[in-house]
Structure 1
Amino acid sequence: MSGSDGKKSSSPGVMDWIGSACRFATDRNDFRSFLSVSTASSRSKMQISSDIVIGSTMSAQELFVAAARECLSAGRKSLSVPQSLDLAAQVSAVDLGLKPALLYDSNSAGADQVQRYLSSLQSSQLVSKSLLTLDLNGNALIVNPVTVRTNVEQLFHHGGMSVIDVRHSLEKPAIAEPLTEELKSMTHDLLLLLRGFELKEAEKPLYVGERSEDWNLCTVFGLLLGYPVTYWFDQTKSFENCLSMTPLTVTTASATWLPDSAGHTCRLYSFSVPAALLQDTQPNLENWRLRLQERFQQQNVLKDLRVCQSTVTLPSVCL
């Protein structure tokens, strides 16, 4: 009887010990789980914190390059770093009013991608909100609407641009009447378009629409890009021209872009004029150069403006 009572009296102690051991094991597993989760959480927080610090310390050049490589890929191929820097310098020049617009041709990215790139720059406060993406018959342009309108109005009211007739039927290029009825109509439509665009901060590309179907895009690009010389041909008859084996004087303007301490040299302008017509177009070329120098002196993002000329002769010229 006493043996039986002794066995019963020891049972609660054994059970208590087993219960304590189980609780210890459970608590230890819980602690390990907690420690694992806490460590992972800490690592995650450290990674997020690290990413924020890295993002906040990126230079302007790095932000420009990151936006270009993220937004402007063609297929699986992104822009190279030099391409991204060239594009950044030109967009900065448009923002500063040094050039009225940029025709995007770095790769086959479309207007929607160019708009995404521009929006990224604007959200990072790298360029102003006033810049717009224009889709002109499938061609994407980044436009400073105020600068473009000012340039076009000056042409419309005061001249200042030489128009070169390069119809294929001509024996050689010739100076054309700068404001033919066709060019007057096109310029007038373009001005109306630009005045409407100035009032918008677009999140999508602005499409010119049907009114541009009859425009000579070669001439329009000369207007939009701020060239002192542009070409014209009768596109209702032929898209060919008479510039084959014609000596051309090519004018280029380049500068060093300095968003940070490191500089990057880029080309801001490049256009041509038949060498035989250089003297006739010289007043407009000189006026363009002086106005560019004046605007250049009013900013400090780009330095070392260089304008130079060279002569080339090509078997064919695509406009």
Structure 2
Amino acid sequence: MSLIMDLHAAAKQHLKGCRRSLALRLAAETLAVDCGLKPCFLYDLGAADVSQIQGYLKQLHQVGFLQGPLHILNLAGTILLINVPKATSCLAMLLNSGELHVIDVSAKLKHPEVFAQDRLWKIHSQLSDLLKHLTPYQSEPPGTVSIADIPATEWNLCTMFGFLLHYPAVYWFDTSRNFENCLSFTPLKHVTVKTTCSKIGLHKLQVYSFTIPETVYHTLQLLLQAWTERLKRSFHGQCHFTDLEITMETVTLPAVAL
């Protein structure tokens, strides 16, 4: 109970108006990044600036809830909390494999399409720039909370967020005309990963959620299986989360925001 009070107090002090339930979810999401269960968390749980989030993370280190260094990246106005060793390892593996799995969902298409590898040079270059940015922060000492900013005005943020969040395949769409896509009423395989944060007794925490269009699922099925096996290995390599639950269902939505 003392730890839960400390977590709520940290959120109340640095992230104004943060309710207890939200404070516990944020703490669990951050712990999942800290222990390497996932490389990154996109901060979307309220209005807070980089300095407020930095203060919050430092206080979680002070109470012993977090251990390793974390990096706060302001990417074109969106804040991400990053486990740099985990993220750089994932990005380097992608770049070294020579295969980036990107799904084109531009509004002009009738159906989603997997990118041919020869179309990916620009995204490959942007990922290399992102890896170059993160690399200097790999050797920060425990308890460090570093901050950086990347304007990334030419990047497709949906794509870059997908890679940082470690989805097995990511979406791209042509933003030259609008920000619409072709996923409306398209059957999608919706994958969710939930777990229990036993350290604070939080059940059914959703640590991953992404979709893959059914029209390209057969092409990416083996990729998803390999991703799932790596996730299971990461899960068994930590002690803060239990009861891993991976589910997949088919959904069809009138609109999909990316």
TM-score after normalising by structure 2: 0.92
Specify the structure having the higher radius of gyration (Cα). 1
Equivalent pair of 2:34/2:68 in contact (CA under 8 Å): no
Shift of 1:248: 1.2
Shift of 1:59: 2.8
Shift of 1:110: 2.4
For residues 99 and 194 of structure 2, what CA distance do their matches in structure 1 show?
22
Equivalent pair of 1:60/1:259 in contact (CA under 8 Å): no
Amino acid at match of 1:194: L
Residue of structure 1 in register with 2:254 after alignment: 315
For residues 244 and 257 of structure 2, what CA distance do their matches in structure 1 show?
28
Task: Note if 1:304 corresponds to 2:248.
Answer: no
Task: Note if 1:221 corresponds to 2:221.
Answer: no
Secondary structure at 2:126's aligned position in 1?
helix
Residue of structure 2 in register with 1:69 after alignment: 12
Equivalent pair of 1:253/1:270 in contact (CA under 8 Å): yes
Task: Note if 1:168 corresponds to 2:111.
Answer: no
Amino acid at match of 1:224: L
Shift of 1:283: 1.1
> What fraction of aligned residue pairs are identical, expressed as a percent?
36
The answer to which structure has the higher helix fraction is 1
Amino acid at match of 1:254: K
Which residues in structure 2 correspond to 1:133-282 (within 5 Å)?
133-158=72-97, 161-178=100-117, 180-200=120-140, 205-209=147-151, 212-260=152-200, 262-282=201-221
The structure-2 alpha-carbon separation of the partners of 1:222 and 1:158, relative to structure 1 and needing over 3 Å to count, comes to: same
Shift of 1:69: 2.4
For residues 15 and 103 of structure 2, what CA distance do their matches in structure 1 show?
34
Equivalent pair of 2:57/2:145 in contact (CA under 8 Å): no
Secondary structure at 1:205's aligned position in 2?
strand
Equivalent pair of 2:43/2:81 in contact (CA under 8 Å): yes
The structure-2 alpha-carbon separation of the partners of 1:203 and 1:252, relative to structure 1 and needing over 3 Å to count, comes to: closer
For residues 159 and 282 of structure 1, what CA distance do their matches in structure 2 show?
18
Please give the per-residue CA displacement for 1:69-94, whole angstroms capped at 9, x wherever unaligned.
Answer: 22112xxxx12222111111111110
Give unmatched runs, 5+ long, in structure 2. Answer: none
Give unmatched runs, 5+ long, in structure 1. Answer: 1-57
For residues 159 and 59 of structure 1, what CA distance do their matches in structure 2 show?
48
For residues 43 and 95 of structure 2, what CA distance do their matches in structure 1 show?
26
Secondary structure at 1:252's aligned position in 2?
strand
For residues 273 and 162 of structure 1, what CA distance do their matches in structure 2 show?
11
Secondary structure at 1:303's aligned position in 2?
strand
Task: Note if 1:90 corresponds to 2:33.
Answer: no
Secondary structure at 1:125's aligned position in 2?
coil
Amino acid at match of 2:133: L
For residues 280 and 67 of structure 1, what CA distance do their matches in structure 2 show?
45
